[in-house]
Amino acid sequence: MDIAQHHIVAVQRICHRIYPFTMHIPIDEARRAQEIIASASRVVCICHRNPDGDAIGSLLGMAHLIEQQYPGKVVVFQCVDPAPATFRFLPGALRIVHDYAYQPGDAAIILDCGEPKLTEMHITHPMLFDGTMPSIEFDHHHRNPMYASVNLVFPDAASTCEIVVAFADTVGWHLSPDIATCLLTGVYTDTGGLLHSNTTSSVYRTVARLLRSGARRQEVVTAVFRTGKMSTLKLWGRVLEKISLTSEGGAISAVTEGDFRASGADYSELTGAIDYVNAVPGMRFSLILSERDGTVKGSLRTLRDDVDVSAMAAKFSGGGHKKAAGFALPGKLKPELRWKVEQTEEEQGRDALR
Ligand SMILES: [Mn+2]
């Protein structure tokens, strides 16, 4: 460690004493991770299959950090799936490859993966997890089995990007505007635009840190929260139109395969619609049923502390968190229409006069 780094660490320790609510990464762990990266001939950065904003943001942010820090070192951007269209505005999103092949001397950085199988490379690339390759994981999921050589796992962090920011600050790496924009994307998507209950004071500090580094906030907001494909809007229209309220206090909607066909939307475009169904005031929970390839999927949400939707999902062999859960059952959706004839007030008045 050089003198400058010594100073950074000293200043950080003081800051952390003054603001204990900022994220703190143990310096020894950060140093071990840094050594793995420095001594690798090539570094492969990997995020989970079906990547979300935090997976893509942390993968790109980390990969760019290494390229900037170690010019000439080869960095592979790897994910079994491509970046969703929403995140293709991020620098480097089109550099993601799907065919990483192991070479001796490679080190792996695995981002936002609560367990090895989420990379969908655990069978094709056992060397990632069997100790053959030195590896570092950055993650914020509970019950992470700590599968890497260095495990930077912080379940209290709202996003993996937040951990990458803390790591960069701990080792004294500079955050360029491009890197900050990638990392801000993950902070925003995993907190639902700073609206979810995981938005701690530490999240706001991370956002401030990234904005100071030149993160292009408006680009992220526009791409992630203010852009909707026609097909998505049409699908959501169908979801919203079909909301019905049950006597148990549920706001329920359903989308059939016909709805997907008619709107031209694919299954992934249903993501986010549940938050609107969940917005009906006074409800205990919300549920969207969706039909795909002979399976009915259920997404459950609640805003209430006294309702546990994971217990409801468990009744259908599903699972999840107390406030967000899901299940899948083989079958099809059968629409049921209910009508009830009621007298109008006028008629009631006429009845009374008779
Ligand atoms: Mn995440």
Among residues 173, 208, 225, which one ends one of the domains? 225
Task: Report residue 104: phi and psi, to 5°.
Answer: -55, 140
CA distances from 92 to 89, 162, 289, 296 (A): 9, 19, 36, 36
β-strands 295-301, 250-255 pairing? unpaired
Distance 116 CA to ligand 1 centre (A): 15
User: Is there a single domain that holds both residue 218 and residue 246?
Assistant: no
Give the tokens for residue 211: 């904005």
Letter string b/e over residues 314-344, b meaning 16 or more CB atoms within 10 A of that residue's CB: eeeebebeebbbbbeeeeeeeeeeeeeeeee
Q: What is the pLDDT of residues 276-302, one digit of tens each?
A: 999 999 999 999 999 999 999 999 999
Distance 224 CA to ligand 1 centre (A): 15
Distance 20 CA to ligand 1 centre (A): 23
What percent of the chain has a predicted confidence (pLDDT) above 90?
Answer: 81
Residue 354 placed within a domain: no
Distance 62 CA to ligand 1 centre (A): 14
Residue 238: name the closest of 277, 205, 211 by CA.
277
Average pLDDT (307-326) is: 90
Specify the CATH number for the domain of residue 317: 3.10.310.30
Residues 6+ apart with CB under 8 A from 136: 33, 36, 37, 107, 108, 109, 110, 148, 149, 150, 151, 152
pLDDT of the residue at 129 = 98
Alpha-carbon dihedral sign for residues 47, 51, 52, 53: positive
Contacts 24+ apart (CB under 8 A), 191-196: 191/158, 191/159, 192/275, 193/221, 193/224, 193/225, 196/158
Distance 203 CA to ligand 1 centre (A): 13
Average pLDDT (263-279) is: 93
User: Is there a single domain that holds both residue 81 and residue 118?
Assistant: yes
Per-residue pLDDT band for 324 (boundaries 50, 70, 90) equals confident
Specify the CATH number for the domain of residue 31: 3.90.1640.10
Ligand 1 ion: residues within 5 Å (CB): 54, 112, 160, 190
What percent of the chain has a predicted confidence (pLDDT) above 70?
Answer: 90
Q: Report the alpha-carbon distance of residue 351 to residue 142 in Å, rounded.
A: 64
Per-residue pLDDT band for 341 (boundaries 50, 70, 90) equals confident
The domain of 149 spans: 3-225
Distance 200 CA to ligand 1 centre (A): 15
Average pLDDT (95-106) is: 98
Average pLDDT (188-200) is: 92
Residue 338 placed within a domain: no
Does residue 223 have a pLDDT over 70? Answer: yes
pLDDT of the residue at 143 = 86
User: Is there a single domain that holds both residue 272 and residue 187?
Assistant: no
Distance 146 CA to ligand 1 centre (A): 16
Q: What is the pLDDT of residues 148-177, one digit of tens each?
A: 999 999 999 999 999 999 999 999 999 999
Q: Report the alpha-carbon distance of residue 29 to residue 7 in Å, rounded.
A: 18
User: Is there a single domain that holds both residue 97 and residue 128?
Assistant: yes
Q: Report the alpha-carbon distance of residue 331 to residue 260 in Å, rounded.
A: 17
Distance 140 CA to ligand 1 centre (A): 7
Distance 182 CA to ligand 1 centre (A): 13
Residue 8 placed within a domain: yes
Residue 346 placed within a domain: no
Distance 102 CA to ligand 1 centre (A): 26
- Counting the structural domains of the chain, the total is 2
User: Is there a single domain that holds both residue 142 and residue 252?
Assistant: no
pLDDT of the residue at 334 = 87
Among residues 162, 190, 225, which one ends one of the domains? 225
